[in-house]
Structure formats: C-alpha cells, structure tokens
Amino acid sequence: MYSVAEVDQEICGATKCRLCTQFCPEGNTILYDEVKGTAYVAVDRCKGCEICVGICDDLAKHHAIKMLPIDQVKNGFDISKVGFKRTLVDSE
Amino acid sequence: MSLKTIRPATGFKEYLPKEYQDLIDDGPFLRQRKVSELGSFKEAIEEHPMCAGCAMTLFIRLVFVALPSLEHTVICGTAGCGRLAITQGAVPFVYGNYGDTNAVATGLKRGLDIRFKDQPKDVVVMAGDGGLADIGFHAVMHSWFRKEKFTTIMLDNEVYGNTGGQDSGMTQKGMVMKMAPTGKKFEKMDMLGLAKTAGVAYTARISTTNPTRIANTIRKAVLIAREVGPTFIQAYTSCNIEYAIPTPKVIDDARDVEKDRYGFAEYFSDEAQSYWDESEKERKRLRKAAKKIK
C-alpha cells in the first residue's frame, strides 16, 4: 500500500496559486485545470514524495493537499488511460 | 528534431501512443513556455524511473521547460542518475561514454553548425558531478579552453548516487558516505573558479528553491552559448537516498544548503555582459512594439 497526493479542490480553487505544479519533480503529475482554477493529481504517476504537501503547507500556507492511501482515492485522474486534458470538465 | 519530424503523416496519428498524440496537440513546441504555465500543457518529459522526491528530477523537468527552442536542441549526457530522466524527454539525447561528454558535444555542435547554417541549434551537456568534474574533467576543461559554443549543466548531488555512495570530487570535505567510511579527505572542487579561469562566458551556481529563477538562468546560459562562448551552470540537486533526506524535506534541505554555502551566484564575462544587455534591450523593444500593435 502506498499513498498519493490529493488536492482539496474547494480550498485550492479559491487561491489559484499554482505553486505545487512548479515544485513537483514528476512531469505532468500535478496538473492545472484552467476552467475550475484548481490543481489536480494524476494518481497513476504520483510517487508519493510529499514535496507538494510541504510546499502547500509551508510556502503557500493553504493546506489544500493531503496524502491518501491509493485504495481510498475515489475517481482519481488516470493520465495513462485518459491522456492529457486541459480541464477535468470534459472528462467527467 | 523539428516539429515536422514530430508530426505524423495524415491518417497515422490515431495509431500512435496516447502520450505522443498529446505531445502533438498540447506539447511545448514552437513557443517558449513559462514556469507559471506548468500543469496546463503536455510536458516534454515523460514518466521516468528516478527515485520519489529527487531534486535532480525537479531540476531536469525545469530544464525541459526552460530550453529556448526545444525542437532545435540536442542534449548530451553520460552514465549517472540524471540520464534516467533525461532520456524520457522528447528531445534527442546523445549518450556520450563516461569521460567524453563534452568532446561528443563539441563534435555535435560543430557538425550541426555546418549542416544548419541559418537555424541555430543548441547543444546542452547535462550530466552529474562525477561525469563532469571527475571522469569527464579533461574533456570539460578542454571544451572550455577551445571556447566551444554550448552549455554545460552539472547536476551536482555531491555523491556517486547511482553506484551506492562513493565520494566524488564535488563531495564536501569530511563527509562520510556508505562507500567512503573514513570520510572525504579533500576539499570540494571549485568548478566555478576553474570555469572563470578557463574563460567561460557565463557561469551560474543555483539550487532547486526557485523554479522561475532556474528557468531564467538556463535560458540565459543557452542563449549566451549560442552567440558568445561556453557557459556553465552548477546546480545543487541533493541525493535524498545517499544523504538520507526524508522526501518531504528535500526542498527545505535545498533552502538550508542555499543559505549556507550554495547561494545563487552568476558571472558574466565582459563580452557576454554586453551581448546580454543588448539582447535584453532588443527584446524589450519588440515587446513594446507587439503591445502597440495589439
């Protein structure tokens, strides 16, 4: 069992800070939805390093990202199945 | 590689992997992307096998965003951790043998300049501290003495991380590693000083704390290398395995080290400074002109 990052879209949507997308070491793992204005995580790519949690808590001070065991993730975005999306609105 | 070679012939696109199709539709080509746009476009770097939370990966990811013309760049590297991620990018990668990265890059750059006279092609050497400061040292120094026009980026994790933790020339004095139990006996090499002595046009020392600054520095180095001469960037990209840094603390560690001994520093030669000032003026003029048209 391992944990992946999950973004609380309500808190994140109110801020539009985008800092976590800049500090994630993996390409296209924390993506940004321009329509909703929130970050979201590609759960199949997240390696669970928690850098984004530290950035969101300490640098941005929004506390919007939590680690969640992979089996508790509901409707996670799977980039290897769906491909890159500019917004989550189409894929839902 | 130009965008022409990325675009498949009509009718073939649907048979290509999803990642490739995304690269054609939402890829980073043709226009310089900003760090603040990350997450809104398909990045050139794909999934890769490097450790979770590796600062080197973060740096490499930012290099792929910062390169001024991605479709006209060739990256040259060698054995080490870095190539595990660099090879997963949509930029041609040439694997120099250990020790000859900068010699290979020299040949590449000269060849590309002869073949493509009206299209500037960038060659970027990106390898670890072992590959450039220890094993590839002679080729690095001689490429600088010869004033070869390409950028050398050292991913300085201060250890041979890939082979289990031997000390490298860039390891700090007294550091005890898994495969260096008595501690390192000599000082860390002053590569920036050597670069200045060898006549490098632009050098920078940087840590992974500010993504925008990293992107600007790399862009600067590649553009100066195109016109003036060799450029060198030394980046602190900690090895969280060998230095036992918990992954959530990787950026904190980078910040501490930056404050302590790895602060951002850049050096321009006179020629590079005047070139850069002039090109900045020109860019400002163009931006103003573009605003007027709007």
Average pLDDT score over residue span B215-239: 96
pLDDT, residue A86, reads 79
Average pLDDT score over residue span B32-57: 93
pLDDT tens digit sequence for A75-84: 889 988 888 8
Residue A31 has its nearest CB partner, among B39, B211, B249, at: B39
In a mutagenesis test of the B interface, which of A2, A20, A28, A82 is the best target, namely the one with the most B β-carbons within 10 Å? A28
pLDDT tens digit sequence for B230-256: 999 999 999 999 999 999 999 999 999
Number of separate domains in chain B? 1
Q: Which domain holds residue B27?
A: 3-293
pLDDT tens digit sequence for B279-293: 999 999 999 999 998
Query: Nearest to residue B140, comparing CAs of B48, B230, B266, B274?
Result: B230
Residues facing A7 on adjacent strands: A65
- CA separation, residue B97 to residues B39, B76, B94, B114 (Å): 34, 10, 10, 24
Rounded Cα–Cα distance for residues B49 and B240 (Å): 15
Residues facing A40 on adjacent strands: A31
Residues of B in contact with A26 (CB under 8 A): 47-48, 57, 61
Rounded Cα–Cα distance for residues B180 and B137 (Å): 21
Residue A49 has its nearest CB partner, among B19, B42, B247, at: B247
Please state the ipTM of this predicted complex: 0.94
Residue A27 to residue B64, Cβ atoms within 8 A = yes
Residue A51 has its nearest CB partner, among B21, B36, B251, at: B251
Residue B18 to residue A27, Cβ atoms within 8 A = no
Residues of A in contact with B239 (CB under 8 A): none
**Nearest-CA distance from B35 to chain A in Å?**
7
pLDDT, residue B3, reads 66
pLDDT, residue B159, reads 94
**Whether A56 contacts chain B with CB within 8 A:** no
Task: Flag whether pLDDT at A89 surpasses 80.
Answer: no
Task: Flag whether pLDDT at A51 surpasses 70.
Answer: yes
**What does DSSP say about strands B73-77 and A38-41: parallel, antiparallel, or unpaired?**
unpaired
Task: Flag whether pLDDT at A90 surpasses 60.
Answer: no
Rounded Cα–Cα distance for residues B270 and B177 (Å): 41
pLDDT, residue B294, reads 80
Residue B38 has its nearest CB partner, among A21, A55, A84, at: A21
What chain A residue is nearest to B40 in terms of C-alpha separation? Answer: A32
Query: Nearest to residue B184, comparing CAs of B202, B201, B171, B165?
Result: B171
- Protein fold of A3-74: Alpha-Beta Plaits (3.30.70)
Domain boundaries, chain A: 3-74
Residues of B in contact with A34 (CB under 8 A): 40
Average pLDDT score over residue span B195-213: 96
Residue B40 to residue A30, Cβ atoms within 8 A = no
Average pLDDT score over residue span A14-25: 92
What chain A residue is nearest to B54 in terms of C-alpha separation? Answer: A25
CATH for B164 = 3.40.50.970
